[in-house]
Amino acid sequence: MERRSFLKNAGAGLAVGTMAMPAIAQNAPTVKWRLASSFPKSLDTIYGGAEYMAKRVAEATGGKFQIQVFAGGEIVPGPAVFDAVKDGTVEMGHTVSYYFYGKDPTYALETAVPFGMTNRQMDAWMRYGNGSKLLGEVFAKSNIMTIPCGNTTTQMGGWYRKEIKTAADLKGLKIRIGGFAGAVLSKLGAVPQQIPGGDIYPALEKGTIDAAEWIGPYDDQKLGFNKVAKFYYYPGWWEGGPQVSAYVSLKKWAELPKEYQAILQIACADAHVDMVAKYDSKNPTALKQLVGSGTQLKQFPKEVMDACYKAAMDLYAETSASNAQFKKVYDDYKKFMDDQNLWHRIAEGSYASYMYSKR
């Protein structure tokens, strides 16, 4: 099934708990798959997205299609999910594609890139723009199809042991960050570090790193970053709307009955909406608790944002010049985003600005 068709038909306008499922034939086979997550079980919202999806699949098939979810490290380490699905070690994965920036920076466009799209804009590009088609062609080369299966919405800018007042304060800063964002910060003299989520706290505590970004208040509070770094910056300009994805082996996908294919797609769409709703419901309380316990909330100064934006645009130009595949997808992504920003600034942005002023 073409990915564009799925995205337009399997879950557009879905409300949580209102999945319309196809009828299951009485002779439908029992299928058992394994899914490798890139996330630890302690992060119930992002890791829980895969469990929620698997639960919906089982419910819709009367238990005939079962997907067992394994946390990062239980079958393969979190960063190895791509290869596990590609090589057939597992039938599915649940991850974020920018983890695989080192294989090809094009993959990052399936999740988020610095100064990129928001959750709603990303959904529009994937469903009604060329996102699903272009990215489908890229991932198919590795025996993978991706299905949107969550979004954290705009993230925070991370935890810092010292204040960031100017772009010069980024020089020499050892920060847990990777992918495009790490490459952008490198241009400004920072020293990006690739550290798994479970290892961030001890690295900050010991001073091995000076700063770290993860997701947002709810998850960050769970990991205790406020205990070892007091400055909490926003916004996470490198993650305007990071999409979480279900990876499916194309070979295994082809073996599924059509009914199971449809159910898996719809369950992923439902999990996608559910994850956004969970984060939106949990982050406000967590943020108030963090600030109440002494966390100092700071906005990145405009000078810092402008310097990072320029570095990001320079990096995109350089990457496009050396990687034709990236250029093809990024050019379409950027054009779509520019139109989205024009629209959102007029309606959504003006309304939000007014309402925020009334708090």
What is the extent of the structural domain holding 258?
29-151+241-281
pLDDT band per the 50, 70, 90 thresholds, residue 12? very low
Give the mean model confidence (pLDDT) for residues 53-67: 97
**pLDDT tens digit string along 123-145?**
999 999 999 999 999 999 999 99
Per the domain annotation, does 266 fall within a domain?
yes
163-185: per-residue pLDDT in tens? 999 999 999 999 999 899 999 99
pLDDT band with cut points at 50, 70 and 90 for residue 301: very high
Whether residue 253 is annotated as binding a ligand: the answer is no
The token pair that represents 52 in the structure block: 């929620």
Collapsing DSSP to helix, strand or coil, 249 comes out as strand
pLDDT of residue 198: 79
Contacts by 260-265 with C-beta closer than 8 Å and gap 24+?
A: 260/28, 260/31, 260/57, 260/61, 260/65, 261/1, 262/10, 262/21, 262/22, 263/21, 263/22, 263/57, 263/60, 263/61, 263/65, 264/57, 264/65, 264/147, 265/6, 265/10, 265/11, 265/147
Q: What is the pLDDT of residue 228?
A: 96
Question: For residues 300 and 21, which has the higher predicted lDDT (pLDDT)?
Answer: 300
Provide mean pLDDT across the span 204-225.
96
pLDDT digits (tens, 9 = 90+) for 103-123: 999 999 999 999 999 999 999
24 burial type by CB count under 10 A (0-12 exposed, 13-18 middle, 19+ buried): middle
Is residue 96 predicted with pLDDT exceeding 80? yes
Residue 221 is assigned to a ligand binding site: no
Q: How confident is the model at residue 22 (pLDDT cuts 50, 70, 90)?
A: low
- Is residue 293 included in any domain, yes or no? no
Confidence (pLDDT) at 359: 78
Question: Would you say 176 is a known binding-site residue?
Answer: yes
Per the DSSP assignment, residues forming a β-bridge with 144 are 249
Q: Are strands 231-234 and 296-299 parallel, antiparallel or unpaired?
A: parallel
Alpha helices by DSSP H, 94-178: 119-128, 131-140
Q: Is residue 219 part of a domain?
A: no
94 lies in a domain?
yes
| Number of compact structural domains in the chain | 1
Indicate the average pLDDT of the chain: 93
- Report the distance separating Cα 278 and Cα 45, nearest Å: 7
Percent of the chain with pLDDT over 90: 89
The verdict on whether residue 159 carries a ligand-binding annotation is no
Instruction: Give the three-state DSSP class for 226.
Output: helix
Residue 194 in any domain: the answer is: no
Q: What percent of the chain has pLDDT over 70?
A: 93
> Could you tell me the CATH number of the domain that includes residue 128?
3.40.190.170
The pLDDT score that the predictor gives to residue 23 is 59
**160 contacts 214 by C-beta, under 8 angstroms:** no
128 within a domain of the structure (yes/no): yes
Note the pLDDT tens digit of each residue in 31-51. 999 999 999 999 999 999 999
**Quick check: 255 pLDDT over 90?**
yes
Answer whether residue 330 is part of any domain: no
Please state the rounded mean pLDDT for residues 246-255: 98
Instruction: Single out the residue of 264, 152, 284 nearest to residue 213, CA to CA.
Output: 152
CB distance 229 to 161 below 8 Å: yes
In a domain, residue 233? The reply is: no
Q: Is 18's pLDDT higher than 50?
A: no
AA letter at 267: A
Torsion angle of the four alpha carbons 82, 57, 122, 302, in this order, in degrees rounded to the nearest 10? -80
Residues 53/149, Cβ–Cβ less than 8 Å: yes
pLDDT band at 17 (very low <50, low <70, confident <90, very high): very low
pLDDT average, residue stretch 268-280: 98
Residue 259 annotated as lining a ligand binding site: no
